[in-house]
């Protein structure tokens, strides 16, 4: 049941024994399983989506904080509606 396998390092071309799908070369510290470009892009896009949220600073006045919170909620509802429409389109036949 042991899924130990050999992975060749891209950096120093040495073989490494590893059990998981992430790790570094024992010989040179090189990343054994470099992330694919698509993975990095989707991660970046997700991070950018989160960055859309308005940051509430602790030194904002109560009114500013309330306005920002409302804006965040409106944005969240808007995104929910958009994804619901996208889902409807995806589920519709044809
Ligand atoms: Zn190496």
In this prediction, residue 6 carries a pLDDT of: 86
Q: How far is the CA of 54 from the centre of ligand 1 (A)?
A: 43
- Give the tokens for residue 15: 């073989």
**Cα angle, residue 87 at apex, residues 82 and 90 outer, rounded to 5°:** 130
pLDDT tens for 58-85 read: 888 889 888 888 888 888 899 999 999 9
Q: How far is the CA of 6 from the centre of ligand 1 (A)?
A: 13
d(CA 63, CA 76) in angstroms, rounded, equals: 20
Tokens 């399983």 — which residue? 33
Specify the pTM. Answer: 0.37
Main-chain dihedrals φ then ψ at residue 29, nearest 5 degrees = 80, 5
Q: How far is the CA of 36 from the centre of ligand 1 (A)?
A: 19
Q: How far is the CA of 26 from the centre of ligand 1 (A)?
A: 6
Helix count and strand count (H, E) for the chain: 2, 2
d(CA 13, CA 5) in angstroms, rounded, equals: 15
């Amino acid at each position: 049941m042991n899924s130990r396998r050999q992975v060749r390092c891209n950096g120093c071309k040495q073989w490494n024994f590893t059990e998981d799908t992430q790790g570094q070369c024992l010989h040179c510290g090189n990343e054994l399983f470099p992330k694919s470009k698509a993975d990095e892009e989707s991660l970046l896009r997700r991070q950018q989506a989160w960055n859309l949220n308005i940051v509430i600073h602790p030194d904002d006045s109560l009114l500013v904080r309330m306005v920002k919170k409302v804006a965040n909620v409106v944005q969240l509802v808007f995104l929910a509606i958009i994804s619901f429409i996208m889902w409807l389109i995806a589920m519709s036949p044809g």
